[in-house]
Amino acid sequence: MKERGEIAILGGGPAGLAVGYYARKAGIPFTIYEASGRVGGNCVTFEHGDFFFDSGAHRFHDKDAPATEEIKKLLGSELKKINIHSQIFDRGKFVDFPLSPLNLLRNLGLFTFLKAAFEVIGLRIWSGNHHKGRKKKESQANFESFALQTYGPTLARRFLLNYSEKLWGIPCGKLSPDIAGKRMKGLNLKTFIKEALLGSKAKTEHLDGSFYYPDRGIGNICDKLARFCGPENIRTQAALTGVFHDNRRVCAIEINGREKINLWKGAEVSRVVSTLSINVLLHIMKPAPPEEILQLVRSLRYRHVILVAFLLKKDRVTKAATIYFPEKDFVFSRLYEPKSRSSFMAPKDKTSLVMEIPCRPEVSLWQMEDDGLTRQVLSQLLKTGLIKKDDIIDKLVFRMKDAYPVLAAGYKEKVEKILNYLQTFENLAISGRNGKFVYSHLHDMMVFAREIINHIDSDMGS
C-alpha cells in the first residue's frame, strides 16, 4: 500500500470545493489554494443589505442521483425543490421556454406557427430517413447548421441563433453544436396532440422546470462544501504563480510568487488537482509546455459577464425562473428575479432583478462606468413593461471574469490535445468548467470530483 500524500487543490470554486469534499470523506489530506479572499469562484451569492442575489442564474439540476443526495445531506431543509419554467421575451411577448406548441400558437399566430410546425415535423421525418453517416456529420458541423436542421429556419432564427451569438460573442456558424441543450425536445406532433387533449397538465410535464435551490442563494452550496472541507484545509489569498514539473510529475507549486511548496517528499505521494482555467495553468507551468500546446491554449477564449442588479420596491415582477432576450435591441442576454427562486432573497414587499451582459474584456461595455451601464440597461428594461423607473431603490454592478468557455467549432480537438498533454503528468488531475473547458453545471462539478477522488483512493491502495 502506498502512503497517502496530501492533495494540492488549485482553485477554491465549486469544482475545487467538491474535490475537497470527497477527499475529506475519503480521509485523504488536502489543501485548497484560492487566489481571492473568498471561496466560491463565479458561483457565489452577493449580499446588499437585506437583498441577496447570485452571480448568475444558477440552479442545481437533479441529473446525477449521488451528487443530489450529497447536496441534500449538506443543506438539509435549506434546500428546496423549485418548479418554475423560464420564458423568452420575443417581440413584446413572453413565450414559454422550453418551447411549448400551444403556447407558440398563441404567441406566434396561426400562420407562423404552422410554418414552424411543418418545418420541425418535416425535418424530423427527413432526418430519420436520410440523416445517416456523412450527411449527419455535415449537418452538425457547427451550431448554426445543427439548429437549422433540427428546428427549422423559423424557430432557429427567432429563438436560438440570435441569442447564441449574443451569449458566445461569435457567429453561430463558428460555434460548436455542443452548445445545444435538450430544452426544445418536446417540439413534435406527439407533444402538440398531448397538449391539445390534456391542456396545462401536459404542458407542465413537458416544460419540466424543476431544480433544487438553497433558501439563501446558490452560494450557500459552496459555503456548506467549504465548511465540510474545514477552514484549516483552505488557504485564501494564495494565488498560484508557478507549477514546477520534471516532464513526468508535478514536483512543486509556487504561491504568490514567493512561497514554494514541494509535492514529493520521500515515500509520500502527493497529487495535484487543478481547477484553474487551462490557459492559466499552462502559462504558469515551469518549464513551459511545448509551443504547439501553448498555441492551442492561446486560441481558446472565455466569455466575461457583467451583472446589473436593480433593487425594487415591489413584491414580485415575474414568476419565471429566467427570461431570455434573443433580440439584439437588448444588451443583456437574460434576466432573473432571485425572489422567484426563494422568498428569502429579498425583504417582504421588495424584490430585485438581475441582468446578465456577456462580453469580451476589450469591449466598451466591460470598461464602461457603472452609471452609464445601468442607464443603458434601464432604458432597455423599461421597454419590456416589467418595471417602472419609480420602482428602483438602488442599483449595483458586478463583473465576473471567465464565466463561460467559448465552445467555438473545432474546440474539442484542441482541448483534447491539451488535456492529453496534461495527462502525461502522473500526479495531476484536471477538473472544473474552465479547467476541462466544458460547458458544465454544478452537479457536474460533484461528478468530476467524485471520479477523481475515487481514482486517487483506489491508486493509493485503500
- Both 169 and 226 in a single domain? no
Q: What is the pLDDT of residues 201-226, one digit of tens each?
A: 555 454 556 899 999 999 999 999 99
- % of the chain at pLDDT higher than 70: 87
Domain boundary pick from 147, 177, 208: 208
The closest of 38, 35, 57, 39 to 277, measured between CA atoms, is 35
Whole-Å CA distances, 407 to 167, 179, 272, 288, 404: 11, 7, 26, 25, 9
- Both 94 and 162 in a single domain? yes
Classify residue 107: in a domain, yes or no.
yes
DSSP state at residue 232: G
Note down the domain range covering 310.
Answer: 302-405
- Both 232 and 279 in a single domain? yes
Domain boundary pick from 208, 229, 251: 208
Q: What is the pLDDT of residue 277?
A: 96
Rounded to whole angstroms, the Cα distance separating 387 from 138 reads 45
Helices (H) and strands (E) in the chain, counts: 18, 21
Q: Full-prediction pTM beyond 0.85? A: yes
Average pLDDT over the chain reads 89
Count: domains in the chain: 3
CATH number for the domain harbouring residue 68: 3.50.50.60
- Both 198 and 246 in a single domain? no
Grid coordinates representing 391 are 420602482
Residues with Cβ within 8 Å of residue 416, at least 6 apart in sequence:
none
Average pLDDT over residues 376-404: 95
Q: What is the pLDDT of residues 140-196, one digit of tens each?
A: 689 999 889 888 899 999 998 999 999 999 999 999 998 876 555 555 556 655 665
Classify residue 76: in a domain, yes or no.
yes
Q: What is the pLDDT of residue 268?
A: 52
Strand partners, 94: 89
Rounded to whole angstroms, the Cα distance separating 217 from 118 reads 42
Grid coordinates representing 348 are 417582504
Q: What is the pLDDT of residue 341?
A: 94
Residues with Cβ within 8 Å of residue 196, at least 6 apart in sequence:
102
Strand partners, 392: 312
Task: Name residue, grid cell 411577448.
Answer: 93
- Both 412 and 296 in a single domain? yes
Classify residue 52: in a domain, yes or no.
no
Which amino acid type is present at position 459? D
Q: What is the pLDDT of residues 26-57, one digit of tens each?
A: 999 999 999 999 999 999 999 999 999 999 99
Grid coordinates representing 167 are 451569449
Average pLDDT over residues 414-426: 97
Using CA of residue 341, residue 343, residue 345, residue 346, what is the dihedral sign?
positive
Rounded to whole angstroms, the Cα distance separating 35 from 330 reads 34
Whole-Å CA distances, 178 to 82, 172, 227, 396, 411: 27, 12, 35, 33, 10
- Both 190 and 228 in a single domain? no
CATH number for the domain harbouring residue 307: 3.90.660.20
Inform me whether the pLDDT recorded for 459 exceeds 90: no
- Both 171 and 313 in a single domain? no
HSE-CB at 28 with a 13 A cutoff on CA atoms is: 33
For strands 79-83 and 302-312, give the pairing: unpaired
Q: What is the pLDDT of residue 267?
A: 39
Residue 345 Cα to chain centre, angstroms:
21
Rounded to whole angstroms, the Cα distance separating 213 from 219 reads 10
Rounded to whole angstroms, the Cα distance separating 251 from 243 reads 8
252: how many CB neighbours lie within 10 A of its CB?
17
CA angle 154-160-163, nearest 5°?
Answer: 130
Classify residue 51: in a domain, yes or no.
no
Classify residue 254: in a domain, yes or no.
yes
* Cβ atoms 16, 32 nearer than 8 A: yes
- Both 201 and 280 in a single domain? no
Classify residue 53: in a domain, yes or no.
no
- Both 99 and 195 in a single domain? yes
In which band, very low, low, confident or very high, does the pLDDT at 300 lie, cut at 50, 70 and 90? very high
- Both 93 and 121 in a single domain? yes
Classify residue 55: in a domain, yes or no.
no
Q: What is the pLDDT of residue 141?
A: 82
In which band, very low, low, confident or very high, does the pLDDT at 360 lie, cut at 50, 70 and 90? confident
In which band, very low, low, confident or very high, does the pLDDT at 233 lie, cut at 50, 70 and 90? very high
Average pLDDT over residues 371-384: 96
Average pLDDT over residues 326-343: 95
Classify residue 49: in a domain, yes or no.
no
Inform me whether the pLDDT recorded for 132 exceeds 60: no
- Both 162 and 201 in a single domain? yes
- Both 127 and 250 in a single domain? no
Q: What is the pLDDT of residue 376?
A: 96
* Cβ atoms 7, 271 nearer than 8 A: yes
Domain boundary pick from 145, 177, 208: 208
Inform me whether the pLDDT recorded for 439 exceeds 90: no
